[in-house]
Amino acid sequence: MNDTDFVTAFAPASIGNLGVGFDMLGLAIAGTGDWVSARKSDASGVRIIEVQEMNGEVHPFLSTNADENTASIAAHSLWNATSNHCGLELIVRKGIPLQSGMGSSAASAVAAVVAVNALLDEPLPKSELLVHALAGEKFASGGLHADNVAPSLMGGLILCPQILLPDMIQLAVPEGVSSVLVHPELQVNTAESRRGLARGYSMDQWLTQQGYLAGFIAACEHNDIELLSRCLRDELIEPQRAASVPCFDEVKKAALKADALGCSLSGSGPSIFALCRDKSAPNLATAMEQACRKLGIECQSWISPLNAPGARVE
C-alpha cells in the first residue's frame, strides 16, 4: 500500500454550549479544523502512524498511542461496528489548538469517522456516524456530550440534548449573523472544568436559563435577531467558569461595546465567542483581540457564517 490509498477528511472546529445551551447547543465554525487520513492495513487493529501539527511537523504533545487519541478511538468504534477484519492506519493533522474550547478532540474524532466511513463498501449516512465520533469524544470529555461532535459533523447550528441522542436537530440560523471566535493562548481542561461546576441549582436559576434557551431557539427559527440578542446569555455556567479565563471579562466587555449580540465562553473556554450582524464582524474581532492583547495574552480569531459546513472528505 502507498499514500494514494489514504482517504482524508476535514472536520471543523466548533463552539460548544453556545453560551445559552449548556451541553446541548453547538455551532460549527469555518476556517480551522482537524484532518484525519485513513487507509486499510494488513495488520489488525487501529494504528496511528503520526500526529502532525498544521505545518506537517510531528506534534510535540500528542502521542500516537491509539488508546489515547479521540481519532483512533472513534475510528475503532466505527470499524468494529461494520465488521471489518483488516486493520486501519491513521494520520492525524491538528489545525485546532489543544484545550482551546474549540472542539479540538471532537473534530479529530469526527474527521476520523468521516474518513473511515469513506473506506467502507457501504458508507453509512452521516447521522449514523455520530455515535462513533461520540465514543472518541467521550475519552476526552468524560461524558456523552455532543455539542462539539454534532456541529463538527453536520455543520451549522445543532441542538443535541443528551436525552435525545443519537438524534441531532439542525436549527434554522438567522440571516445576516456571523460568529466571531477568539482563542487566547491559554489552556483549560474540559473534564476538570466540568468537575468544578455546582451540582445543584434553584428552580429560579433553571427556569431563567431554560427561558433563555427556549427563546434563543425560537429566535433562530423565527429569524428574530433582536430576540436572539436578548436570549444569548448564560447565567448558570459562565459565572462559574469565567474566573479560569483571566481575559474573559475584558474581552466580553469589548465585544458588547463593539455591537456583539451576545458573548460567552466557547465550551469550557478559554476561547470566547460572540455573535453579531455580518457587517460588525471585522471590527468586533479586532476589538476582542485588542482587549485580549492589552492584558498581555496572545490570541487569534476566526469569523464564520452561522451555516458553516460540517465535516467532509477532501
Of the listed pieces 31-39, 44-52, 75-83, 155-163, which binds its own copies according to CB under 8 A?
155-163
Who's near 214: CB < 8 A, 6+ residues apart?
none
CB contact at 8 A, 236 and 205: yes
Q: How far is the CB of 165 from its own copies (least distance, A)?
A: 10
β-pairing, 7-16 vs 312-313, is antiparallel
Q: How far is CA 224 from the centre of its chain?
A: 25
Query: Interface with its own copies includes 198 (CB under 8 A)?
Result: yes
CB contact at 8 A, 266 and 25: no
**Of 1 and 197, CB closest to its own copies:** 197
- Three-class DSSP category at 82: coil
Give the separation between CA 137 and CA 77, rounded to whole angstroms: 11
Query: Interface with its own copies includes 223 (CB under 8 A)?
Result: no
CB contact at 8 A, 26 and 14: yes
- Contacts of its own copies in 201-220 (CB under 8 A): 201-203, 206-215, 217-218
Query: Interface with its own copies includes 161 (CB under 8 A)?
Result: yes
Q: Looking at 230, 253, 277, 312, which residue binds its own copies (CB under 8 A)?
A: 230
Please name which of 123, 110, 109, 118 lies closest in space to residue 40, comparing C-alpha atoms: 118
Within 10 angstroms of residue 19's Cβ, the number of other Cβ atoms is: 28
Give the separation between CA 173 and CA 186, rounded to whole angstroms: 30
**Of 141 and 301, CB closest to its own copies:** 141
**Of 58 and 218, CB closest to its own copies:** 218
Q: Looking at 12, 16, 19, 21, which residue binds its own copies (CB under 8 A)?
A: 21
Please name which of 242, 231, 246, 234 lies closest in space to residue 296, comparing C-alpha atoms: 246
Query: Interface with its own copies includes 24 (CB under 8 A)?
Result: yes
**Of 46 and 213, CB closest to its own copies:** 213
**Of 230 and 312, CB closest to its own copies:** 230
CB contact at 8 A, 146 and 140: no
**Of 94 and 241, CB closest to its own copies:** 241
Of the listed pieces 55-63, 194-202, 279-287, 301-309, which binds its own copies according to CB under 8 A?
194-202
Q: How far is the CB of 269 from its own copies (least distance, A)?
A: 18
Interface residues toward its own copies, by CB under 8 A:
21-24, 159, 161-164, 167, 169, 171-172, 197-203, 206-215, 217-218, 221-222, 227, 230-231
